[in-house]
């Protein structure tokens, strides 16, 4: 196992660029969504709610995918302050909004970021207006259409970023692949959650498509392609982005079971209560004794699971060696990502320290 090289903090330049990116993304979303809201308003005043909810929803995003797209652009020599890149990066927040709104619908989640989920908000609107029929059905329709709008708007925004066709068209190719991959990953996750025979191999495939490619590798490719990056650099982005993205998701899985509620903002052992078949769980079940498997299945996915049950499941995950194995995997994958970065022919040195900093933040976080 290799030590983790070059995990230096962000340079002041990279910090400032990241702050400028966030401001640029905010501004680009405001401008684009104001135009769309005006279009909707031309149709009927009743449509105001759709525009308002999208604007409110994207305001709360972490800008993770825009950040990777931005550093992919910078690493290929893109201008730090090009407003066209801010627009392109911001478009990924609309894709992510669509994914989350539809995901909450599939999972029947009541909340998101401490607020009611979008389908709950539409159901509440239905109730407040005293409309006829079932509010839940109205909520489903409203959220489904809002997610569809975000999906369409994300590619409209990206395409209208203002960069020339010879840069835009190859980048849109990565965008296409990214969308197909994330939906493939989501469907595979749905199957994985339904089929009881989850293997570590399939769980890792879900991690790769639903998270690693979608959150890190493809945004880097998109930004790189927009700056005219060559094949070599794009290959380095894969060599850095894929293992880092996998480590990022595995960290998420560990936090879902062992995370401190004060930091994660979620109840302790939440993923165990939900019965989420993550790579961590797949690993535990692959190495558990038949008696341990039986004990695990008895509690896993029980919505009423109490702290004693959480402790029992955690104990099995620890004693089977699954936790240690996954932590080792996180360390190895992060090291792979760092080594790829060290060898990368990046144009901007700020990009190197920024990507190293993002790697650390993604895998060493506690919430």
The residue ranges that bind a copy of itself (CB under 8 A) are 36, 39-40, 43-44, 46-47, 50, 98, 102, 105-106, 108, 126, 129, 131-133, 137-138, 140-142, 144-145, 147-149, 151-153, 155-156, 159, 165, 169, 172, 176-177, 179-181, 183-188, 190-191, 193-196, 202, 205, 209
In the complex with a copy of itself, the residue whose CB is nearer, 105 or 335, is 105
Smallest distance, a copy of itself to C-beta of residue 188, A: 5
* CB closer to a copy of itself out of 124 and 188: 188
Q: Smaller CB distance to a copy of itself: residue 2 or 187?
A: 187
In whole angstroms, the minimum distance from the beta carbon of 353 to a copy of itself comes to 33
**Least distance in Å: CB of 168 to a copy of itself?**
9
Helices (H), 130-164: 135-159
Q: How far apart are the first and last CA of the chain?
A: 25
CB of 161 to a copy of itself, least distance (A): 12
| Least distance (Å) between residue 106 CB and a copy of itself | 4
Helix pair 349-364, 322-342: axis angle to 10 deg: 180
Euclidean distance between CA atoms 364 and 251, whole angstroms: 8
**Of 278 and 353, CB closest to a copy of itself:** 278
Report DSSP state, residue 9: P
* Minimum distance of a copy of itself from residue 76's CB (angstroms): 22
**Alpha-carbon distance 250 to 259, whole Å?**
12
For 345, what's the count of Cα atoms within 13 Å in the CB-facing half-sphere?
8
The minimum distance between CB 305 and a copy of itself, in angstroms, equals 17
Q: Which is nearer to a copy of itself, 8 or 180 (CB)?
A: 180
* H-type alpha helices, the chain: 12-43, 48-59, 64-75, 83-107, 118-129, 135-159, 165-194, 200-206, 218-226, 231-258, 261-264, 270-274, 279-287, 290-299, 307-319, 322-342, 349-364
Q: How far apart are CA 67 and CA 336, in angstroms?
A: 21
> Which lies closer to a copy of itself via its Cβ, residue 71 or residue 138?
138
Q: How far is CA 274 from the centre of its chain?
A: 19
Q: Between 102 and 273, whose beta carbon lies closer to a copy of itself?
A: 102
Using alpha carbons, select from 81, 65, 4 the residue that is nearest to residue 350. Answer: 81
Q: Which is nearer to a copy of itself, 237 or 300 (CB)?
A: 300
CB of 58 to a copy of itself, least distance (A): 16
> Dihedral through CA 104, CA 107, CA 108, CA 113, nearest 10?
-40
User: What is the smallest separation between the CB atom of 7 and a copy of itself, expressed in angstroms?
Assistant: 31
| Buried b / exposed e along 244-262 (16+ C-beta atoms within 10 A) | bbbbbbbbbbbbbbbbeee
Structure tokens at 76: 């290929």
For the CB of residue 350, give the shortest distance to a copy of itself in the complex, in Å.
Answer: 33
Give the nearer residue to a copy of itself in terms of CB position, either 103 or 286: 103
CA dihedral 100, 101, 107, 111 (to 10 degrees): 90
Cα distance between residue 222 and residue 174, in whole Å: 6
Nearer to a copy of itself among residue 1 and residue 43 (C-beta): 43
How many other C-beta atoms are found inside a 10 Å radius of the C-beta of residue 279?
26
């Amino acid at each position: 196992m290799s030590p983790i090289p070059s995990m230096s903090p962000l340079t002041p330049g990279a910090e400032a660029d990241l702050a400028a990116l966030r401001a640029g993304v905010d501004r680009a979303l405001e401008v684009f969504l104001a135009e769309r809201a005006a279009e909707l308003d031309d149709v009927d005043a009743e449509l105001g709610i759709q525009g308002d909810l999208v604007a409110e929803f994207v305001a709360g995003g972490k800008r993770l995918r825009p950040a990777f797209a931005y550093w992919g652009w910078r690493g290929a020599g893109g201008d730090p302050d090009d407003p066209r890149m801010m627009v392109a990066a911001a478009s990924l927040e609309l894709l992510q909004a669509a994914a989350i709104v539809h995901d909450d619908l599939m999972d029947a989640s009541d909340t998101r970021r401490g607020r009611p989920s979008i389908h709950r908000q539409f159901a509440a609107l239905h109730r407040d207006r005293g409309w006829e029929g079932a509010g839940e059905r109205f909520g489903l329709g409203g959220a489904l259409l809002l997610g569809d709008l975000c999906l369409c708007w994300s590619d409209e925004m990206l395409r209208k970023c203002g960069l020339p066709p010879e840069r835009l068209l190859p980048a849109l190719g990565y965008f296409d692949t990214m969308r197909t991959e994330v939906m493939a990953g989501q469907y595979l996750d749905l199957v994985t959650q339904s089929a009881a025979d989850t293997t570590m191999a399939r769980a890792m495939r879900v991690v790769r498509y639903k998270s690693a490619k979608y959150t890190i590798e493809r945004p880097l490719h998109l930004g790189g392609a927009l700056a005219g990056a060559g094949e070599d650099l794009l290959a380095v982005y894969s060599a850095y982005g894929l293992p880092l993205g996998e480590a990022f998701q595995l960290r998420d899985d560990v936090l879902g079971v062992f995370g401190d509620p004060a930091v994660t903002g979620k109840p302790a052992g939440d993923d165990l209560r939900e019965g989420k078949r993550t790579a961590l769980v797949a690993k535990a079940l692959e190495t558990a004794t038949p008696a341990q498997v039986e004990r695990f299945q008895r509690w896993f996915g029980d919505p009423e699971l109490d702290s004693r049950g959480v402790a029992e499941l955690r104990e099995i995950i620890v004693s089977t060696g699954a936790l240690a194995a996954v932590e080792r995997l996180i360390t190895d994958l992060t090291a792979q990502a760092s080594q790829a970065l060290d060898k990368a022919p990046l144009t901007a040195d700020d990009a190197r320290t920024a990507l190293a900093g993002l790697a650390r933040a993604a895998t060493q976080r506690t919430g």
